[in-house]
A and B are shown apart, each in its own frame.
Chain A
Amino acid sequence: MKKKYNTYSHNISDKLVKLLLTFVTFFSVSILFLIMIFLFKEGLPVFKVVSIKDFILGKQWYPTSTPPKFGILPLIAASLSVTFLSAIIAVPFSLAIAIYLSEIASNGIKQIFKPTIELIASIPSVVIGFFGMVVFAPFLQNIFKIESGLNLFNAAIMLSFMSIPTIASISEDAISSVPSSLKEASYALGATRWETITKITLSAAISGIWTSIILGLARVLGETMVVLMVAGGATTFPKSIFSPIRPLTSNIAAEMAEASYRSEHYYALFAIGIVLFILTFIFNFIANYISEKYKFKYD
């Protein structure tokens, strides 16, 4: 009888545990919704003073003038241009690292190289921003004889440094998971290692590489401190790669402290949060779609 009682109590505790775990999981998943709800709650009221179209396509951001102007197009242009430019810099370096690690480096080098690249990802963004501000900006100013080193170009360099570990490590996983039978077939046909890499391995791993690039770009787009400290902060359209700019993220960080609670300005900053939320959602969706759709079919 005693044994039966034991099993019974164990079953009860098992059920309780399962209930608790279900509840906690539900809570974890609901956080994404909570973020959405609160962003909308605090952001949507701005559309009483400005239409969605004027908000997104408006060319002037003067939140404290009378009447205030809440047009975020220059901020969107800033975010996109810095993301694009940093991708141009980061992608070749990241792919070089991914190819080097998966195809060229010896095991010994790999074991040191890989964690070192991972360490870059752990450097706090505020320190990278600090470096861009006090070291790289004066350097740029001297080299290119420009008014200020705090600009789009500087931000793009610092951001690409930050996004290289993301792009490189996911690409490397994709390249390493290409079955060796494909490569061997290529060698057997007389291709060199380099020909095999460019024509066989990379094209077999292309979906993983795209996923890595998109995730890297999402990280750049959402990064705040580096652009806040380094990009220059002017709310105008970027005219050259040396223009000071202010991306969406840094605009929120720069102005939240001065926006009084539940003012139009405050609502507008939350509305920018909504835009950012939607943009990163789209990026993630695309990354997810690519990696699901082109999942490796050679097994």
Chain B
Amino acid sequence: MKKRARFIEKFSFTLIKIMSFTIIFFLLFFLFYIFSKGYSALSIDFITKFPENNMTEGGIFPAILGTLFLIIGSTLFSVPVGIMTAIYLNEYPINPKLLNIVRMMINNLAGVPSVVFGLFGLSVFVIFFKFGSSMLAGSLTLGILNLPLIIRSTEEALKTVPDSYREASLALGATKWQTIRKIVLPSAIPGILTGIMLSMGRAAGETAPIMFTCATFYIPYIPTSIFSEVMALPYHIYVLATAGTEIEKTRPIQYGTAIVLIALVLILNLAGMILRYKYKKRFEE
């Protein structure tokens, strides 16, 4: 009986290991494949030049720039609003029942499909506020999409700050806001930054929310105002791969754009992860 149990255990553990590593293998294959196909398209010109010859040649500079603008724009909205909300929820006394409802609503906001955020952005920013299809509308839409993420990560970071810090500050006569500003926030900064990095990565990669609010297939100039339409990396991949007459001819550019987008997102995420790792270590010491 015992022998059989041991055999089952060995078999199951092996199966679990195989299944786990299959996923890692798939990830590596995925990254390797895209890299190997798009590698030839990469060059300095590819990231610094405008598209040429009906998109079949040249670079993707305006799409990179557009995505950077959208990252910055969305962060300018989501970070202050998200951090302030998290501070209020975590540091100020709120009726626990109300707090539960608020948390649930923020969770629900996090679960809303990105395409619905796109519809919201279209009806509110593009149409209702008459921003038109513009960088402003796209940034605000992405900012709202990222808001729950910022709130959640900031709250988590605030929670790791020991209460003794707050009590010591208050005991020395500091007011609540002084305590938050000078004691709590500085201790929570690395955790908050991690959340910001992850949200920037998300803003860079989202496509559905920008389709109806700001993205355009091609503009021959650098966007001059927040009311300009922009090109963006994810939308560029989507359009090149699905529409137009030169789908096969632009394939290397599609792979190349995918590499640039993945690299951008991975760098942001790795930065966030490293920050979090260092931060954890500091608190464990």
Chain A residues within 8 Å of B, Cβ to Cβ? 10-11, 13-14, 17-18, 20-22, 24-25, 27-29, 31-32, 34-35, 38-39, 41-42, 92-93, 96-97, 99-101, 104, 113, 115-120, 122-127, 129-131, 133-135, 161, 164, 192-195, 215, 218, 221-225, 228-229, 249, 252-253, 256-257, 261, 269-270, 273, 276-277, 280-281, 283-284, 288
Q: Which residues on the A side are within 8 Å of B176 (C-beta)?
A: 14, 18
Q: Which residues on the B side are within 8 Å of A228 (C-beta)?
A: 238
Q: Which residues on the A side are within 8 Å of B16 (C-beta)?
A: 96, 99-100, 104
Q: A93-B23, A124-B204 are in contact. Are A192 and B113 (CB under 8 A)?
A: no
Q: Does B115 belong to the interface (CB within 8 Å)?
A: yes
Within B137-155, the residues touching A (CB, 8 Å) are 144, 147, 151
Interface size class of B (residues with CB under 8 A): 35 or more
Could you tell me if B112 and A280 are in contact, using CB atoms closer than 8 angstroms?
yes
Which one of B157-165, B223-231, B259-267 is at the interface?
B259-267
Q: Which residues on the A side are within 8 Å of B202 (C-beta)?
A: 122
Q: Which residues on the B side are within 8 Å of A131 (C-beta)?
A: 30, 33-34
Closest to A122 in B: B269
Please measure, in the bound complex, the distance between the C-alpha atom of A28 and the C-alpha atom of B77, giving whole angstroms: 11
Q: Does B241 belong to the interface (CB within 8 Å)?
A: yes
Contact of B258 among A127, A224, A225 (CB under 8 A): A127
Could you tell me if B112 and A42 are in contact, using CB atoms closer than 8 angstroms?
no
Contact of A288 among B34, B104, B212 (CB under 8 A): B104
Which one of B6-14, B58-66, B183-191 is at the interface?
B6-14
With A252-B115, A256-B122 known, 16 other A-B pairs at CB within 8 A are A21-B84, A22-B88, A24-B81, A25-B84, A32-B105, A34-B120, A39-B119, A42-B119, A122-B205, A127-B234, A127-B261, A224-B207, A229-B238, A253-B115, A284-B104, A288-B104
Q: Does B48 belong to the interface (CB within 8 Å)?
A: no
Could you tell me if A24 and B84 are in contact, using CB atoms closer than 8 angstroms?
yes
Interface of B is mostly: helix
Chain B residues within 8 Å of A, Cβ to Cβ? 5-6, 8-9, 12-13, 15-17, 19-20, 22-24, 26-27, 30, 33-34, 80-82, 84-85, 87-89, 92, 102, 104-109, 111-120, 122-124, 127-128, 144, 147, 151, 175-178, 198, 201-202, 204-208, 211-212, 234-235, 237-238, 241-242, 251, 254, 258, 261-262, 265-266, 269, 273
Please measure, in the bound complex, the distance between the C-alpha atom of A276 and the C-alpha atom of B111, giving whole angstroms: 11
Q: Which residues on the B side are within 8 Å of A115 (C-beta)?
A: 273
Could you tell me if B211 and A253 are in contact, using CB atoms closer than 8 angstroms?
yes
Closest to B28 in A: A116
Q: A18-B92, A93-B19, A104-B17 are in contact. Are A194 and B113 (CB under 8 A)?
A: no
Q: Which residues on the A side are within 8 Å of B84 (C-beta)?
A: 20-21, 24-25
Could you tell me if A118 and B9 are in contact, using CB atoms closer than 8 angstroms?
no
Q: How far is the CB of B98 from chain A (nearest CB, A)?
A: 10
Residue of B16, B17, B34, B175 ringed by the most chain A CB atoms within 10 A: B16
Could you tell me if A125 and B151 are in contact, using CB atoms closer than 8 angstroms?
no
Q: Which residues on the A side are within 8 Å of B177 (C-beta)?
A: 10, 13-14, 17-18
Q: Which residues on the A side are within 8 Å of B9 (C-beta)?
A: 192-195
Closest to A42 in B: B123
Could you tell me if B241 and A130 are in contact, using CB atoms closer than 8 angstroms?
yes
15 examples of A-B residue contacts, CB within 8 angstroms: A11-B175, A18-B177, A21-B87, A28-B82, A29-B105, A32-B109, A35-B109, A42-B119, A104-B17, A120-B27, A123-B262, A269-B119, A277-B112, A281-B111, A288-B107
Give the top 10 A-B pairs by smallest Cβ distance, nearest first: A124-B205, A222-B113, A194-B9, A96-B19, A21-B88, A224-B208, A24-B84, A224-B115, A28-B85, A126-B234
